């Protein structure tokens, strides 16, 4: 395939680009480097099957020009800061909804018929059913989640109008190599500044599931090979979950920090829009023959070790 990867210099999509190259595909990465990292792509720049283009999905002229001739789009560019929508109520609209529409328009113009979309477990809001299946009707609790859900709907409409096939993936938080934002990232930055105290948003009881990025990418590629509907929606998560305080304990133990004092702010939510319990039903993706290789605890520990070895990431943001 000739693939087009938006956000391909970011944490997840740069790992995806590596996997696509290993399969023998041609890969065009399109990223504005606002949160993506040059260090995540530099090892591929000499590869004749790899092209990097610095560009924003809001730049329709450049985007549409560079998409021409591609077979499959992996649309991973987005605002990934759930809390950011509280201060900037336009960012999710622009980056996640209008950006997705621009990608779909490029596909329509150039006759590209396959798209994989990075959605999010946040589309479920605060679901009553845990583990949460794909077929519930969610109530939105964040602008970010609403923007991802809206983008899903626009993709499905384009599939019906223009005979496009889509694979929509609702992620729990991914961790692993090139991890560059999230709870462990935030905690390690705080502990670097003050190793005796860790401030935790919420009361520490929030329960979350995490997935290693390698497992997630394997699931994506398997689903695209085996799932044949016009629109295919899959949860991607782990069978386990962990609460935030226990995660902090693993972090401190792995960093050999003793007697760290935890302080807390808030109740069962770390912020408005935070979901106290994120645990997805993964039976649908599992039915294709996929299962996670790494446990939640293994994933957390591997991520901590990666950041220990790549302190420059912590310093860059």
The residues that are catalytic are: 144
Distances (CA, A) of 128 to 231, 266, 284: 25, 22, 19
303, 187 contact by CB (below 8 A): no
Angle at 84 between CA 241 and CA 144, to 5 degrees: 65
Q: Is 228 exposed, middle or buried (0-12, 13-18, 19+ CB in 10 A)?
A: exposed
Sequence-separated (6 or more) residues with CB below 8 Å from residue 85? 79, 91, 92, 142, 143, 144, 147, 273
Ramachandran sector of residue 204 (left: φ over 0; alpha: ψ -120 to 50; beta: rest): left
CA distance 95 to 144: 10
Three-class SS of residue 180?
Answer: coil
CA atoms within 13 A on the CB side of 154: 21
Ramachandran sector of residue 101 (left: φ over 0; alpha: ψ -120 to 50; beta: rest): alpha
CA distance 269 to 49: 45
Give the orientation angle of helix 296-309 with respect to helix 244-254, to 10 degrees.
50
- At which residue do the structure tokens 């105290």 appear? 197
Q: Is beta strand 165-171 parallel, antiparallel or unpaired with respect to 231-236?
A: parallel
CA distance 39 to 122: 29
Intra-chain end-to-end CA distance of the chain, in Å? 34
């Amino acid at each position: 395939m000739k693939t087009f990867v938006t956000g391909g210099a970011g944490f997840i999509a740069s790992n995806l680009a590596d996997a696509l190259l290993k399969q023998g595909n041609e890969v065009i990465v399109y990223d504005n480097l606002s949160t993506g990292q040059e260090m995540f792509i530099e090892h591929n720049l000499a590869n004749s099957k790899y092209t990097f283009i610095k560009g924003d999905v809001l730049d329709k002229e450049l985007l549409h020009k560079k998409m021409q001739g591609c077979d499959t789009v992996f649309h991973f560019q987005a605002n990934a800061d759930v809390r950011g929508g509280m201060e900037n109520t336009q960012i999710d609209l622009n980056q996640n909804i209008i950006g997705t529409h621009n990608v779909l328009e490029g596909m329509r113009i150039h006759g590209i018929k396959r798209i994989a979309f990075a959605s999010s477990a946040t589309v479920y809001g605060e679901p009553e059913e845990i583990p949460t299946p794909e077929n519930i009707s969610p109530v939105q609790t964040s602008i970010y989640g609403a923007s991802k859900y809206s983008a899903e709907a626009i993709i499905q409409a384009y599939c019906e109008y223009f005979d496009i096939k889509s694979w929509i993936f609702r992620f729990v938080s991914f961790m692993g190599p090139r991890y560059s934002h999230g709870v462990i990232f935030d905690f390690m930055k705080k502990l670097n500044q003050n190793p005796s105290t860790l401030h935790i948003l919420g009361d520490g009881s929030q329960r979350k599931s995490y997935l290693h990025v390698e497992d997630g990418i394997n699931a994506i590629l398997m689903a695209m090979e085996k799932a044949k509907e016009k629109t295919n929606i899959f949860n991607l998560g782990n069978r386990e979950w962990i609460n935030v305080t226990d995660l902090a304990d693993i972090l401190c133990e792995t960093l050999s920090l003793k007697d760290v004092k935890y302080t807390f702010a808030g109740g069962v939510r770390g912020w408005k829009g935070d979901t106290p319990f994120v645990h997805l039903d993964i039976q649908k993706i599992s039915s294709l023959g996929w299962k996670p290789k790494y446990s939640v605890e293994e994933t957390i520990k591997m991520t901590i070790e990666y950041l220990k070895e790549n302190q420059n990431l912590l310093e860059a943001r």
